[in-house]
């Protein structure tokens, strides 16, 4: 039996485009004489559709698209993800389903059992879990079909009380097939391979796993679909961050693509990544950010970006990524020096744009700042220069860059990193402005690692930007270390608290200074109000700010 894996990039709610893409893959599968084509979870709607699922019209359009696809499934089988209605008045109104289409009929429907309600996932808000389990029969073979989370309930501390594959094994299936929408983070791709390996090992069956690719605002799906034999050897692994239509042959003896099967085996269990490793999978992080930018602009219909370019590391990396994702001609840099900006920072920002080949303008803000100062002087009285004046510069810059964005239809890319967002080291309505946070899920040490990766084939980001001490340049001689611990001390503590959810005692027992830990954790908790007003962030870590980390603003814990 020949099975085509369709690893595709869908657009949430764009039923015409999604359906055409699915139909094109079916046509390709027919040309290659495939028996079955396998798509990803909720392919018809795009994932995650979130509260669109509360609209009957949205669900009706999804089911109408399923009907179009059914007509194309005449001589070929199609396994595709789509929401379906729950006929039982009890429970939620919808299932998250995989539909087997063949001979222009719906031959079977499998509903997702394990509905993740953690981190970025909120599926139990919309879907009813499956309450019965049945293999799908196709051309004399028994298919154990599951959907994404259904295969993750393994280990000594399972999250759910039931495991769909345990139920299906009583029916003696011949193969496991999983339709997935499993998002990227810099640990998850390896973890995903490990979970496939563990399922194959536990059930003694080959598995074909089809994942989505593409970015949906903050969530990036990286693909990496895979077909694995019962002995753990990899028959086929699809590329990451790319669409792909790849054929797998399921031989009569149960093997998948026998000629390639013995070359690779999935790795064993993964170690717990207890420490922050800035270089960890930095090439994949780079790809994820490029896809995040590209799809945000493409799917929203935006044409051009603008970046406030300061000559610092964060704006430099953001600008370089934007130019690579969108083309340098579509990215405008705006330099906004004040009287506190050093000449080398301006020179560095100019050199960066010259290296990248993107257009740029320079608008000095001193006169504007002085005008504000003059207007505010009667109210500020004789109080000394301080935080208000520092933040005023940032807000002037925010106003300037947004003015150009409005005038010329640019989208402002925010340059704040995760270390800054965690500690509140940023100005609301100033440098925290933007339509998309490019670096908001990367700690400062990771930003430096990414800069070095961008320069892997030659200097794109000037070396001086990478090596000079970071500074907001809002007062004479200012450095980030005046307000924050050095990043090599700060970032590891943030990682333990945010990614690994360690409490202060646990972090201190790891060898970190107690006063330092207390200071950092208070900063994180006391600045939730700022992060709550921040733009969407491209997620690349196991625990990103935004949808995946929901904290009370007025909480007292460690505050």
Cβ atoms 195, 207 nearer than 8 A? no
Structure tokens given for 24? 């094109």
CA distances from 194 to 97, 161, 355 (A): 24, 21, 41
311 is in an annotated binding site: yes
Cβ atoms 349, 462 nearer than 8 A? no
Of 21, 112, 304, 418, the catalytic one is 112
73 is in an annotated binding site: no
87 is in an annotated binding site: no
> Does the annotation mark 535 as catalytic?
no
Three-class DSSP category at 318: helix
Task: Tokens 């049945």: give the residue.
Answer: 134
DSSP state of 103: T
Distance CA 334, CA 402 (A): 11
> Backbone phi, then psi, for 275, in 5-degree steps?
-115, 150
> Does the annotation mark 390 as catalytic?
no
CA distances from 555 to 251, 421, 502, 528 (A): 58, 18, 17, 9
Three-class DSSP category at 435: coil
269 is in an annotated binding site: no
Close Cβ partners of 70 (under 8 Å, ≥ 6 residues apart): 78, 101, 104, 105, 106
Of 21, 82, 123, 148, the catalytic one is 148
Of 41, 123, 237, 324, the catalytic one is 41
Distance CA 52, CA 461 (A): 41
Distance CA 513, CA 260 (A): 52
102 is in an annotated binding site: no
530 is in an annotated binding site: yes
312 is in an annotated binding site: yes
CA distances from 518 to 114, 515, 525, 549, 555 (A): 38, 5, 11, 20, 16
Close Cβ partners of 462 (under 8 Å, ≥ 6 residues apart): 316, 348, 351, 352, 355
309 is in an annotated binding site: yes
62 is in an annotated binding site: no
Structure tokens given for 264? 């690779």
Distance CA 382, CA 522 (A): 32
Structure tokens given for 31? 């040309």
219 is in an annotated binding site: no
420 is in an annotated binding site: yes
Strand 304-308: give its sheet, edge to edge: 360-362, 331-335, 304-308, 410-414, 436-437
Distance CA 77, CA 254 (A): 19
84 is in an annotated binding site: no
For residue 34, the Cα-to-chain-centroid distance in whole angstroms is 32
DSSP state of 250: B
Exposure on the CB side of residue 145, measured as CA atoms within 13 A: 29
> Would you list which residues are annotated within the binding site for L-glutamine?
118, 182
> Would you list which residues are annotated within the binding site?
118, 182, 308-315, 391, 415, 420, 530
> Would you list which residues are annotated within the binding site for ATP?
308-315, 415
> Would you list which residues are annotated within the binding site for deamido-NAD(+)?
391, 420, 530
Could you list the active site residues? 41, 112, 148
């Amino acid at each position: 039996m020949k099975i085509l894996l369709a690893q595709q990039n869908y657009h949430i709610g764009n039923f015409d485009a999604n359906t055409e893409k699915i139909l094109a893959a079916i046509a390709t599968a027919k040309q290659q004489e495939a028996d079955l084509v396998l798509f990803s979870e909720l392919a018809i709607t795009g994932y995650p559709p979130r509260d669109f699922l509360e609209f009957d019209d949205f669900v009706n359009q999804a089911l109408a698209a399923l009907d179009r696809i059914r007509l194309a499934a005449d001589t070929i089988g199609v396994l595709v993800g789509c929401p379906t209605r729950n006929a039982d008045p009890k429970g939620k109104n919808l299932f998250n389903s995989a539909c087997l289409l063949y001979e222009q009929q719906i031959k079977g429907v499998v509903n997702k059992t394990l509905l993740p309600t953690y981190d970025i996932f909120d599926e139990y808000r919309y879907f009813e879990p499956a309450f019965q389990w049945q293999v799908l029969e196709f051309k004399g073979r028994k298919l154990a079909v599951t959907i994404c989370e259904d295969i993750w309930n393994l280990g000594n501390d399972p999250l759910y009380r039931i495991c769909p594959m345990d139920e299906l094994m009583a029916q003696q299936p011949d193969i496991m097939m999983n339709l997935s929408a499993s998002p990227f983070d810099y640990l998850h791709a390896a973890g995903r391979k490990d979970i496939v390996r563990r399922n194959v090992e536990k059930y003694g069956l080959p598995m074909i796993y089809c994942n989505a690719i593409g970015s949906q605002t903050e969530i990036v799906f990286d693909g990496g679909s895979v077909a694995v034999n019962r002995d753990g050897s990899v028959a086929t692994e699809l590329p990451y961050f790319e669409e792909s239509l790849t054929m797998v042959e399921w031989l009569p003896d149960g093997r998948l693509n026998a000629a390639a099967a013995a070359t690779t085996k999935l790795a064993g269990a993964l170690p717990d990544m207890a420490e922050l490793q800035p270089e960890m999978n930095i090439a994949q992080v780079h790809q994820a950010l490029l896809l995040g930018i590209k799809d945000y602009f493409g799917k929203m219909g935006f044409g051009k970006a603008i970046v406030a370019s300061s000559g610092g590391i964060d704006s430099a990396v953001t600008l370089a990524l934007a130019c690579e994702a969108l083309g340098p001609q579509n990215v405008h840099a705006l330099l906004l020096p004040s009287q506190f900006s050093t000449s080398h920072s301006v020179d560095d920002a100019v050199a960066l744009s010259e290296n990248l080949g993107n257009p740029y303008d320079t608008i000095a803000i001193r006169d504007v700042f002085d005008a504000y100062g003059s207007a505010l002087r009667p109210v500020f009285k004789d109080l000394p220069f301080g935080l208000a004046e520092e933040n005023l510069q940032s807000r002037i810059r925010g106003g300037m860059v947004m003015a150009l964005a409005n005038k010329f239809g640019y989208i402002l890319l925010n340059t704040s990193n995760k270390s800054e967002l965690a500690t509140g080291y940023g100005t609301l309505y100033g440098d925290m402005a933007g339509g998309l946070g490019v670096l908001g899920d990367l700690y400062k040490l990771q930003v430096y690692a990414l800069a070095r990766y961008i320069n892997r084939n030659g200097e794109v980001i000037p070396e001086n930007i990478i090596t000079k001490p970071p500074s907001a340049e809002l007062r004479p001689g200012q450095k980030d270390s005046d307000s924050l611990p050095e990043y090599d001390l700060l970032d590891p503590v943030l990682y333990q608290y945010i990614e690994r959810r360690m409490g202060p005692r646990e972090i201190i027992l790891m060898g970190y200074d107690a006063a330092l830990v207390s200071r950092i954790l208070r900063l994180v908790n006391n600045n939730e109000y700022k992060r709550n007003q921040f733009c969407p962030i491209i997620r690349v870590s196991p625990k990103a700010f935004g949808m995946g980390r929901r904290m009370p603003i007025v909480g007292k814990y460690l505050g």
